[in-house]
Amino acid sequence: MISTESTDKLVSLVVFGEFTLADYKEFEDVVNYRVQFSGPVDLLFDLRQMAGFTLDVAWEEIKFSRQHAGDFRRIAVLTEDQWLTWSAWVSQLFVTAEVKVFDDEDEARAWLAAETTAETTGSAQ
């Protein structure tokens, strides 16, 4: 099961239990909508409560990342699992976004917000 939240420039996803293909498709729909109407977005993946994922989710993630390589600015991954940390690093091969792993949600959100603030301030000059 997942929970998603989105604003103009941020899509947040929390995974509870097993991450299924149906969950991933729901996430894709949210991201596609935001990218279509807002342009590139930041992503926040909270995987701290994820029990696992199905193989088809891994394959879908690779396909989705390749199709949307330039649609993300920054991707923050919340996890304490070393396997998921490695997986986030591998995902960075398919996207132009900066990918960073965190174990603290406040730090992840601050990192994403700092980029948004810097871009807003930089474009005003």
Question: Three-state SS for 77?
Answer: strand
Overall average pLDDT of the 15-41 stretch = 94
Percentage above 70 pLDDT, the chain: 82
- Paired with 52 in beta bridges are 18
Give the pLDDT confidence score for residue 124 in this predicted structure.
Answer: 43
CA–centroid distance for 64 within its chain: 12
Q: What percentage of the chain reaches a pLDDT higher than 90?
A: 54
**Domains of the chain as residue ranges with CATH:** 2-116 (3.40.50.10600)
For 48-91, the DSSP string reads TTEEEE-HHHHHHHHHHHHHTTTSEEEEEEE---HHHHHHHHHH
pTM: predicted TM-score of the whole model, two decimal places: 0.84
Structure tokens at 24: 């991933």
Average pLDDT over residues 80-93: 67
